[in-house]
Amino acid sequence: MLRSFIDEDLIHQLLKDARPEKNRVREIIQKSLAKVRLEPEETAALLKIEDRALLQEIFEGAKKLKEVVYGNRIVLFAPLYVGNECTNDCAYCAFRSSNRSARRKTLSDEELKEEVIALQKKGQKRLILVFGEHPKYGGDFIANAVSTTYATRSGKGEIRRVNINAAPMEVKEYKKLKKAGIGTYQIFQETYHRATYRKFHPRGKKSDFLWRLYGLDRAQEAGLDDVGIGALFGLYDWKFEVMGLLSHAIHLEKEFNVGPHTISFPRVQPAQSVKLPENYRVSDDDFKKLVAVLRLSVPYTGMILTARESPKLRKEVIELGCSQIDAGSRIEMQGYTCALSQEQESDRQQFKLGDTRTLDEVMQELVEDGYTPSFCTACYRLGRTGEHFMELAIPGFIHKYCTPNAILTLKEYLQDYASARTRKTGSAAIRKALEKIGSTDLKNEVTSRLKRIENGERDLYF
Q: What confidence tier does 33 reach under pLDDT thresholds 50, 70, 90?
A: very high
Q: Please say if the pLDDT value at position 95 is more than 70.
A: yes
Q: Please say if the pLDDT value at position 400 is more than 90.
A: no
Answer whether 324's CB lies under 8 Å from 302's CB: yes
Q: How far is CA 438 from CA 302, 406, 434, 443, 449, in A?
A: 24, 16, 9, 8, 17
Q: How far is CA 293 from CA 25, 234, 317, in A?
A: 11, 17, 12
Single out the residue of 447, 405, 439, 454 nearest to residue 75, CA to CA: 405
Report how far residue 166's alpha carbon sits from residue 440's, in angstroms, rounded to the nearest whole number: 44
Superfamily of 67-357 according to CATH: Aldolase class I (3.20.20.70)
Q: What is the DSSP string of 141-209?
A: HHHHHHHHHHH--BTTB---EEEEE-----HHHHHHHHHHT---EE---B-S-HHHHHHH--SSGGG-H
Report how far residue 225's alpha carbon sits from residue 219's, in angstroms, rounded to the nearest whole number: 8
Q: Please say if the pLDDT value at position 2 is more than 90.
A: no
pLDDT (tens digit, 9 = 90+) per residue, 233-243?
Answer: 999 999 999 99
Mean pLDDT of the chain: 95
Collect all residues with Cβ–Cβ distance below 8 Å to 48 and sequence separation of at least 6: 15, 18, 19, 20, 239
Average pLDDT of the segment spanning 49-59:
97
The whole-number pLDDT of residue 382 equals 75
CB atoms within 10 A of CB 253: 16
- How far separated are the first and last CA of the chain, in Å rounded? 45
Collect all residues with Cβ–Cβ distance below 8 Å to 283 and sequence separation of at least 6: none
Q: Please say if the pLDDT value at position 443 is more than 90.
A: yes
Report how far residue 251's alpha carbon sits from residue 217's, in angstroms, rounded to the nearest whole number: 9
C-beta contacts of 67-71 below 8 A and 24+ residues apart: 68/33, 68/35, 68/396, 69/35, 69/299, 69/300, 69/393, 69/396, 69/398, 70/302, 70/323, 70/398, 70/402, 71/372, 71/399, 71/402, 71/403, 71/406
